[in-house]
């Protein structure tokens, strides 16, 4: 029971941090390759987030690990909330909002890397899930590809173009899932999503596309 609570809390902490970081990227017009997108990519690799995407979950029940996750995400969320509030309430202090976040970015980076490394040493319990969450992941990709299109003025033209490609192809994949009856066709769909996510600089879509690509043989075709 306690292990489920620990996993739940750390997962919620990761999700909140990723959402806050995405909000900061939106309001600060940072839809390009920078510290924010790299940080988001690293956050997507943390064990609690990975387990929400995996079919073969690798559960860590050690409370020390979850304490580190909650501490990291709590601190990062606190910094992001302060930066967002300053940015929204006082546009004259935009530089201060940037400094509050970026002055601490290196420490956050190092903390995540340390946690990713020590994840390797903690005991993991393999739990297989039969629940297919690919449509949920496709919906998330759809949303994260749409927002840069709507704020195209702050996005490099080529990135905006590939976000449009990503958006359109995600819709096609979403509705074609049950019609796909060969592994090669399913693999090609996910590969296009991966490439489009990479070129459009969408770390959330990139990681989710990779997870779906790697798990296609585990879950099988959607028929």
3-state SS class at 187: helix
User: What's the rounded Cα separation, in Å, for the pair 212 and 219?
Assistant: 10
Do residues 208 and 141 make contact, with C-beta atoms less than 8 angstroms apart?
A: yes
Mean pLDDT computed over every residue of the chain: 85
Q: Stretch 129-139: mean pLDDT, rounded?
A: 83
How many angstroms separate the CA atoms of 99 and 83, rounded?
Answer: 8
The more confidently predicted of residues 27 and 68 is 68
What pTM value is reported for the model? 0.87
pLDDT score, position 111? 93
At 182, give phi and psi (nearest 5°). -135, 145
Asked if residues 47 and 119 have their Cβ atoms less than 8 Å apart, the reply is yes
Q: How does pLDDT run across 186-211, given as a tens digit for each residue?
A: 888 889 899 989 888 889 999 999 99
Q: Report the candidate in 28, 21, 65 with the shortest Cα–Cα distance to residue 42.
A: 21
Lowest mean pLDDT among 57-61, 78-82, 90-94, 143-147: 90-94
């Amino acid at each position: 029971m306690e292990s489920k609570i620990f996993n739940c809390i750390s997962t919620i902490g990761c999700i909140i941090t990723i959402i806050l970081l995405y909000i900061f990227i939106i309001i600060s017009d940072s839809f390009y390759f920078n510290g924010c997108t790299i940080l988001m990519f690293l956050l997507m690799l943390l064990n609690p987030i990975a387990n929400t995407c995996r079919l073969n979950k690798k559960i860590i029940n050690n409370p020390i690990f979850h304490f580190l996750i909650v501490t990291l995400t709590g601190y990062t969320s606190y910094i992001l909330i302060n930066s967002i509030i300053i940015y929204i309430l006082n546009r004259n202090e935009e530089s201060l909002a940037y400094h509050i976040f970026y002055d601490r970015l290196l420490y956050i980076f190092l903390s995540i890397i340390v946690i990713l490394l020590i994840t390797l040493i903690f005991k993991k319990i393999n739990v297989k899930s039969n629940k297919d969450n690919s449509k949920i992941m496709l919906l998330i990709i759809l949303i994260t590809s749409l927002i840069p299109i709507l704020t195209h003025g702050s996005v490099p033209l080529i990135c905006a173009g590939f976000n449009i490609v990503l958006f359109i192809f995600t819709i096609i994949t979403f509705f074609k899932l049950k019609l796909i009856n060969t592994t090669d066709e399913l693999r090609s769909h996910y590969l296009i999503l991966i490439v489009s996510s990479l070129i459009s600089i969408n770390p959330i879509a990139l990681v989710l596309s990779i997870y779906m690509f790697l798990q296609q043989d585990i879950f099988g075709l959607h028929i």
